[in-house]
Amino acid sequence: MMKFNTLLYIACICLLTGCGSLRQEVEPKGITQQPERLVIACFISPQDTVLAARVSFSSPVLGTNDANNPDITNATVTLSDGTRSIVLRPTRETSYSGFSTIYKASASELPIVVNRTYTLTASVPDGRRVSSTCTIPGSVYVQQVLIDTAVATEYGASRKSYYARLRWNDVPGEPNFYRVAGTNEYVRRYVFQPSPNVPIRDTTVFMAGSWSPNNGSLLTDENRDGQEMISSRIRLAPNEYTYFEGSWKSTPPSGKLEAYLLNVDENYYLYHDAVEKQNRTRDNPFAEPVIIPSNIQNGLGCFAGYNRTVFTMYIK
């Protein structure tokens, strides 16, 4: 028994020593310094009324950067279809982080057409220039929206949620990439007291909300070329519940429902798929790193095309 305890003690010491070796100090000089690069994001479709792009600088691994104002305000941004070119003009807009600079032009200045290839370029006064191209895919139509429900226990209470799935036919003979989204209307009940001397009353408010896909919003026709496609379940709004008269109430959707099917190009799919995977890792220190792809020559970011169709129905 004494021999066994001794061996166990030695094994624990070795294990702790091994764990300690996992922690290593990283010397700043050992990290390769990458130069600051131009980053551009732009997504165009035939349904656009406004063409928009955002241009910024990449953030360095070491050193400082102005995270509150990453946008470039003095870039020259042009969009061309091979025959005509337009300049996107900088506009200052309010965003969740403060203000953003977005380069814009009316889509009437350069209509976005299916199967046409577009070139986006951006340059800054110090001479740096980035560019990219994309081709606009055709439209694919939703054949049906399937509605169902499920009851789940969340936060100690049983609640009913409402879901939708989109059904469509894949375009045969070519690789296709899709994204699903949508909105729906519902009525929400509120309890309020206008003033201390007025009785408490309740009211209903007409609202609209966006959908929440369970397993991501993107999919491909890999191994399903030309077949019927069905999206994963998408949770309809409202995604939250109202506490009313001592219990949590889930309001069923009612009114107009709009389902969006985006036929996107490969660069759009790869970029947003990586972003969705990165968002799902949250702050998990054990998650695999996600590399965000880029199709911007001499820079970073994504320039891609898509084509959106809408399926409208009404829920009672």
Amino acid identity for residue 74 in this structure: N
Which residues of the chain carry a pLDDT beneath 50? Answer: 2-23, 64-67, 69
What does the pLDDT read at residue 16?
Answer: 42
Phi, psi of 275 (to 5 degrees): -65, -40
Percent of the chain with pLDDT over 90: 52
pLDDT tens by residue, 257-289: 999 999 999 999 999 999 988 887 777 777 788
- 35-135: CATH number: 2.60.40.10
The candidate with the shortest Cα–Cα distance to 91, out of 75, 80, 79, is 75
Domain ranges (residues) in the chain: 35-135, 142-262+309-315
What does the pLDDT read at residue 62?
Answer: 52
SS3 3: helix
What does the pLDDT read at residue 8?
Answer: 43
In contact, 295 and 264? CB cutoff 8 Å = no
Report pTM: 0.80
- Paired tokens of 172: 């045969």
